[in-house]
Structure 1
Amino acid sequence: MNKPQALNQTRQEITSLDNDLLELLAKRRSLSLEVAKSKEVDVRPIRDTQREKELLERLVKQGREKGLDAHYVLSLYQGIIEDSVLNQQAYLHGRANPETQKQQYCIAYLGARGSYSYLAANRYCQRRQVEMLDLGCQSFDEIVHSVESGHADYGFLPIENTSSGSINEVYDVLQHTSLSIVGETTIEVGHCLLAKQGSRSNDIKTVYAHPQPISQCSRFLGLHPEFKLEYCSSSAEAMEKVLQADCHSVAAIGSAEGGALYQLEAIEKGLANQNINQSRFIVVARKSVAVPSQLPAKCTLIMATGQKPGALVEALLVLKAHDLNMSKLESRPIPGTPWEEMFYLDIDANLASDNMQAALVEIERITRFIKVLGCYPCETVKPTQLSNSQLMIEPDTSKADVTEPLQNDLEAPAQRRSAKEYKQQATEIVDRQLSIGSGNFNALAQLTLGNDVEVMGQQAKLIKEAGYQAVIIQGLNQVAEMPQKLRALCHALHQFDLVAIAKIEQQPDIGKIAPVVDMLQVCGKQMFNQDLLSLVGSLHIPVILERNTMASIDELLKSADIVLEQGNQQVLLCESGIRTFDQSAKPALDLAGIIELKRISHLPVVANLSYAVELVSFECQTQALKSLGADAIVLPVDGTATHNESGLIQGQHGKLLRQLHQN
Structure 2
Amino acid sequence: MNLNKIKIAIQGVAGSFHEQAACNYFNSNDLNIIYCDTFDQVFNLVSKKNHLGVIAIENTVAGSILPNYRSLQENNFNILGETYMRIEQHLMTFPGNKIEKIKEISSHPMALRQCQKFLNNHPKIKSVEKEDTAKSAAIIEENKLTNAAAIASEMAAEIYNLEIIERGIETNKKNFTRFLIISSDKKVIKADFNKASICFTIDHSIGSLAKVLTFLSERNLNLTKIQSNPRLGKEWEYFFYVDLLFKDMNTYLNSMTKLKTMVGELILLGTYKDGIKNKL
- Give the structure-2-normalised TM-score: 0.92
Identity fraction in percent: 26
Q: Is residue 156 of structure 2 the alignment partner of residue 258 of structure 1?
A: yes
The structure 1 residue matched to 2:256, chosen from 360, 374, 385, is: 360
- Does the CA contact (< 8 Å) of 2:84 and 2:278 recur in 1? no
**Cα distance, 1:381 vs. partner?**
5.2
The structure 2 residue matched to 1:318, chosen from 215, 239, 247, is: 215
**Cα distance, 1:359 vs. partner?**
2.2
How many Å separate the matches in 2 of 1:374 and 1:320? Answer: 20
- Does the CA contact (< 8 Å) of 1:140 and 1:173 recur in 2? no
The aligned amino acid for 1:122 is: C
How many Å separate the matches in 2 of 1:248 and 1:291? Answer: 52
Q: Report what 2:90 is aligned to.
A: 192
**Cα distance, 1:300 vs. partner?**
0.4
Q: Report what 1:338 is aligned to.
A: 235
Q: Report what 1:111 is aligned to.
A: 12
The aligned amino acid for 1:282 is: L
Q: Report what 1:574 is aligned to.
A: none
Q: Report what 1:348 is aligned to.
A: 245
Write out per-residue CA displacement over residues 461-504 of structure 1, whole angstroms, 9 at most, x where no aligned residue: xxxxxxxxxxxxxxxxxxxxxxxxxxxxxxxxxxxxxxxxxxxx
Give the length in aligned residue pairs. Answer: 280
Q: Is residue 75 of structure 2 the alignment partner of residue 137 of structure 1?
A: no
Write out per-residue CA displacement over residues 311-361 of structure 1, whole angstroms, 9 at most, x where no aligned residue: 2111111111111111111111111112221111110127x7222123223
- Greater RCO, 1 or 2 (C-alpha within 8 Å, sep 6+): 2
How many Å separate the matches in 2 of 1:205 and 1:356? Answer: 56
Q: Is residue 268 of structure 2 the alignment partner of residue 372 of structure 1?
A: yes
- Does the CA contact (< 8 Å) of 1:188 and 1:279 recur in 2? yes
CA, structure 1 residues 256+133, in 2 after alignment: closer, same or farther (shift >3 Å)?
Answer: same
Q: Report what 2:182 is aligned to.
A: 284
Q: Report what 1:405 is aligned to.
A: none
The aligned amino acid for 2:51 is: D
The aligned amino acid for 2:121 is: L
- Does the CA contact (< 8 Å) of 1:163 and 1:273 recur in 2? no
How many Å separate the matches in 2 of 1:172 and 1:165? Answer: 15
The structure 2 residue matched to 1:168, chosen from 52, 66, 72, is: 66
Q: By percentage of residues, which structure has more helix?
A: 1
Alignment of 1:134-283 (within 5 A): 134-150=33-49, 152-283=50-181
Structure 2: state its 5+ residue gaps. Answer: none
Q: Rg bigger for which structure?
A: 1
Specify the SS of the correspondent of 2:55.
Answer: strand
How many Å separate the matches in 2 of 1:130 and 1:227? Answer: 35
CA-atom RMSD, angstroms?
2.1
Structure 1: state its 5+ residue gaps. Answer: 1-99, 384-431, 433-663
Write out per-residue CA displacement over residues 531-552 of structure 1, whole angstroms, 9 at most, x where no aligned residue: xxxxxxxxxxxxxxxxxxxxxx
Specify the SS of the correspondent of 1:175.
Answer: helix
Specify the SS of the correspondent of 2:268.
Answer: strand
- Does the CA contact (< 8 Å) of 1:103 and 1:130 recur in 2? no
Alignment of 1:95-106 (within 5 A): 100-106=1-7
CA, structure 1 residues 273+306, in 2 after alignment: closer, same or farther (shift >3 Å)?
Answer: farther
Write out per-residue CA displacement over residues 118-158 of structure 1, whole angstroms, 9 at most, x where no aligned residue: 11112323x2x5841110011111101101123x5210000
How many Å separate the matches in 1 of 2:107 and 2:241? Answer: 29
- Does the CA contact (< 8 Å) of 1:194 and 1:264 recur in 2? yes
**Cα distance, 1:278 vs. partner?**
1.8
Q: By percentage of residues, which structure has more strand?
A: 2
How many Å separate the matches in 1 of 2:34 and 2:226? Answer: 31
Alignment of 1:431-442 (within 5 A): none
- Does the CA contact (< 8 Å) of 1:305 and 1:311 recur in 2? yes
- Give the structure-1-normalised TM-score: 0.40
CA, structure 1 residues 291+358, in 2 after alignment: closer, same or farther (shift >3 Å)?
Answer: closer
The aligned amino acid for 1:227 is: I
